[in-house]
């Protein structure tokens, strides 16, 4: 900026005013400065600017890592942000600080002073209400609290999935849970249990395991379930990645899906349809959730407190190739 100022024969303050379109600059001066800016290819530093002023026109999307779910959120957010004049900054900050608990607070603190005007936090465990930064949570731990939230109807979706298996004649159904610290995981288990209870079916505690929502962490519990002497004829996994891990595990132990074992997932990430066989799953409108969150956040940033809302989107069952009637039926 100093270069521009010198080259245009003005002060940096004037350059700043021109860049930000402030009043009180002669048209001729403004034009000259603009000319120098484009000639030098000058671009203001987001960092320095944001250290000084409170607005950056950048929305942050905070994630633990870029996996299929957050990637879909990003796609939806990207489409939604296009018409708003905001840039998008997605941050994945699990690198240091040892464990990955509290990444959302760390990331928010690091970015919000203020690199970003507001943040969408994807699947946060702890949502600390800081009212200095507008925040929208997607599928948070605690379920709706004081902060704006977007989630899907996890409970109804889980009921759908379980009823589907029951309708196919399955009676011994396993549940592979996600992370016990996430509300979505709890609700999916609850939906599973209530649908089982409604059908008068027992839930064998040995058939309920925790898979951590990740492919690698689901591998062990999936094998354990399938290694049981009286193994189930169907598995309902709390997300697609774990369902895919279950299909892999089944193949490992020589079980055919869906003839010997039916598998249902949750999310309907793009990977679900690419699985072999294609995964029957409960679809959440993930991209729409991302778009909805951005919409809410933009209103929040604009000071519209009515946007401190809780949006719940519907889920639906998508039947594909990984489920079939129970063996011997």
Which residues lie near a second copy (CB under 8 A)? 41-48, 50-51, 57, 65-68, 71-72, 74-75, 77-78, 81-82, 84-96, 105-106, 109-111, 113-115, 269-271, 273-274
CB atoms within 10 A of CB 114: 18
> Residue 193's binding partner, choosing from a second copy, DNA, none, with beta-carbon cut-off 5 to 8 A by kind?
none
> What mask of x and - would describe binding to DNA in positions 83 to 122, judged by CB under 7 A?
------------------------------x---------
Give every CB contact of residue 319 below 8 A, 6+ residues apart in sequence: 164, 280
Round to whole Å and give the CA distance between 196 and 81: 42
Q: Which is nearer to a second copy, 89 or 208 (CB)?
A: 89
Q: Which is nearer to DNA, 10 or 234 (CB)?
A: 10
- 189: its two tokens: 């288990």
Shortest distance, position 5 Cβ to DNA, whole Å: 7
> Residue 161's binding partner, choosing from a second copy, DNA, none, with beta-carbon cut-off 5 to 8 A by kind?
none
Round to whole Å and give the CA distance between 234 and 67: 26
> What mask of x and - would describe binding to DNA in positions 17 to 56, judged by CB under 7 A?
x-xx-xxxxxxxxx-------------xx--xx-xxxx--
Where are the extended beta strands (E) located within the chain? 58-63, 87-92, 118-122, 135-138, 148-152, 173-177, 208-210, 234-237, 262-267, 280-283, 310-313, 316-318
Shortest distance, position 170 Cβ to a second copy, whole Å: 26
Give every CB contact of residue 44 below 8 A, 6+ residues apart in sequence: 1, 19
- 44: its two tokens: 């203001």
Shortest distance, position 190 Cβ to a second copy, whole Å: 29
Q: Is 82 in the site for DNA (CB under 7 A)?
A: no
> Residue 273's binding partner, choosing from a second copy, DNA, none, with beta-carbon cut-off 5 to 8 A by kind?
a second copy
Shortest distance, position 57 Cβ to a second copy, whole Å: 7
Contact, 152 vs 314, CB < 8 A? Answer: yes
Round to whole Å and give the CA distance between 156 and 71: 24
Contact, 91 vs 63, CB < 8 A? Answer: yes
Residues that bind DNA (CB under 7 A): 1-2, 9-17, 19-20, 22-30, 44-45, 48-49, 51-54, 113
């Amino acid at each position: 900026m100093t270069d521009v100022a010198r080259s245009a024969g003005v002060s940096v303050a004037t350059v700043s005013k021109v860049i930000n379109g402030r009043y009180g600059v002669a048209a001729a001066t403004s034009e000259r400065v603009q000319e120098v800016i484009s000639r030098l290819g000058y671009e203001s530093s987001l960092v320095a600017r944001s250290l000084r002023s409170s607005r950056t026109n950048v929305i942050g999307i905070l994630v633990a890592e870029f996996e299929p779910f957050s990637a879909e959120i990003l796609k939806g957010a990207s489409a939604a942000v296009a018409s708003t004049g905001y840039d998008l900054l997605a941050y994945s900050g699990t690198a240091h600080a040892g464990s990955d608990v509290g990444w959302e607070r760390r990331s928010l603190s690091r970015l919000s002073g203020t690199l970003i005007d507001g943040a969408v936090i994807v699947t946060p465990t702890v949502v600390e209400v800081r009212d200095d930064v507008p925040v929208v949570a997607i599928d948070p731990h605690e379920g709706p609290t004081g902060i704006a939230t977007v989630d899907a109807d996890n409970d109804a979706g889980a009921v759908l999935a379980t009823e589907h298996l029951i309708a196919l004649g399955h009676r011994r159904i396993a549940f592979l849970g996600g992370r016990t610290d996430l509300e979505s995981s709890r609700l999916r288990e609850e939906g599973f249990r209530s649908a089982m209870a409604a059908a008068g079916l027992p839930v064998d505690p040995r058939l309920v395991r925790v898979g951590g929502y990740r492919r690698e962490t689901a591998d062990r519990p999936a094998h354990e379930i399938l290694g049981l002497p009286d193994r189930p004829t169907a598995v309902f996994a709390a997300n697609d990645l774990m369902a895919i891990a279950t299909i892999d595990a089944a193949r490992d132990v020589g079980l055919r899906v869906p003839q010997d074992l039916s598998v249902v997932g949750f999310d309907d990430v793009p990977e679900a349809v690419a699985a072999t066989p294609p995964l029957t799953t409960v679809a959440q409108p993930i991209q729409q959730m991302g778009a909805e969150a951005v919409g809410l956040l933009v209103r929040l940033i604009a000071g519209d407190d009515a946007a401190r809302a809780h949006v719940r989107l519907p889920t639906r069952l998508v039947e594909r190739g990984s489920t079939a009637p129970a063996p011997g039926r």
